[in-house]
Amino acid sequence: MFSVTVTPRFGDTDALGHINNTALPGWFELARNPLFAMFPPERDFTDGTFSLIMAHTDFDFLGELVFGAEVEIRSWVSRIGTKSFTILHEAWQKGELRCRGHAVIVHYNFKTRETLPLPEDKKAALARHLRRED
């Protein structure tokens, strides 16, 4: 598991008084920073050598998230395929699971626009965070 704590900002709320659903994608993206570190580009992110592309995200909103209390984002690798893998994210606030979601990420060569097999060392690194879903 990797964990990151997010402090909601006031602008994350909407007129209904709770955290707007569009805040979650950014929080889950933040939780994927360790993945960016596992697959570093050669020089920087603008040089065309970064090798991950987002294929899918989903979000189940299970309870209202509020301003004024920290949110822990817990993340696991829930699937390791030959060319892609899935991240499972959970947002916990005040001891309750409030949102759960996934990101399906594909290993990809942006220059040739081809999918790439996941190298064995990357699979092993991902497997250290594995939590299969039922």
> Where does this chain bind its own copies (CB under 8 A)?
4, 7, 9-11, 13-18, 20-26, 29-30, 32-33, 36, 44-46, 48, 50, 53-61, 67-68, 110
CB of 84 to its own copies, least distance (A): 12
Return the number of the residue (42 or 44) whose C-beta is nearest its own copies. Answer: 44
Q: Please give the C-alpha separations between residue 32 and each of 4, 77, 102, in angstroms, as whole numbers.
A: 9, 10, 11
CB of 124 to its own copies, least distance (A): 23
CA–CA dist 81, 44 (Å, integer): 26
What is the residue-wise DSSP string for 58-98? EEEE-S---TTS-EEEEEEEEEE-SSEEEEEEEEEETTEEE
CB of 27 to its own copies, least distance (A): 8
